[in-house]
Chains A and B, each alone.
Chain A
Amino acid sequence: DAGVTQSPTHLIKTRGQQVTLRCSPISGHKSVSWYQQVLGQGPQFIFQYYEKEERGRGNFPDRFSARQFPNYSSELNVNALLLGDSALYLCASSSGIYTTQYFGPGTRLLVL
């Protein structure tokens, strides 16, 4: 079975631009969570979605938004990019809200 997939794998943007990252969960999983991992640090929780509804939001500005589609895939959008948004963005899927999270390979975003 395929694991969590994310696209693109790498992305370079300039300050002020907008970016959309995509995630496809493991088949049968209905929950997707997003994490930001800045170089040298542990991942930080951004969002959790379950059945297309937001179930949790971390301490991130409103420039960060996400949504989940009927097929349970998800997009993370970041507007008005800052240099500090450069990070590895990880998507995790789980079968339910409170079940084990399995991570994808991540999208590495570089903001210049």
Chain B
Amino acid sequence: AQSVTQLGSHVSVSEGALVLLRCNYSSSVPPYLFWYVQYPNQGLQLLLKYTTGATLVKGINGFEAEFKKSETSFHLTKPSAHMSDAAEYFCAVEGVKTSGSRLTFGEGTQLTVNP
């Protein structure tokens, strides 16, 4: 079974500051990991994903995440926050079975960017 824990339901940063959103996962098989962003009253938009290969993954809008197997972590970072980054962020792990796949999401982290 897979599970995801996002540390910190709310994170507040100043515009221009580093963004760090934490995600730890549990998976019985090599995980596929994802970060999605959700703006108010909208669906989920894929930011980035890790499947295999390079452990540092670059995504859209300047975000990146690093897969650390030893720490079972997949933290999301952005060097300089912008006001438009304010949204809810979800980390997810994909559970793959012989018949199909499903995403297991964390509870989400609400990012606030202060001017």
Contacts and interface: CB of A to CB of B under 8 A. Distances in A.
Contact of A42 (B49, B100, B105): B105
A55 B105 contact: no
Contacts of A16: none
Contact of B107 (A42, A97, A100, A103): A42
A103 B102 contact: no
Interface string A32-57: 01010000111111001010000110
Interface string A91-112: 0100001101111111000000
Nearest to A97: B100
B42 A33 contact: no
Interface in A54-112: 55-56, 58, 90, 92, 97-98, 100-106
Contacts of A41: 107-108
Contacts of B99: 55-56
Main secondary structure, interface of B, reads strand
Size category of the A interface is: 20 to 34
Contacts of B45: 103
Interface of B: 4, 34, 36, 42-46, 49, 90, 92, 94, 96-97, 99-108
Contact of B100 (A35, A56, A90, A104): A56
Interface of A: 4, 33, 35, 40-45, 48, 50, 55-56, 58, 90, 92, 97-98, 100-106
A42 B108 contact: yes
A106 B102 contact: no
B110 to A, nearest CB: 10
Given A41-B107, A105-B43, A100 B49 contact: yes
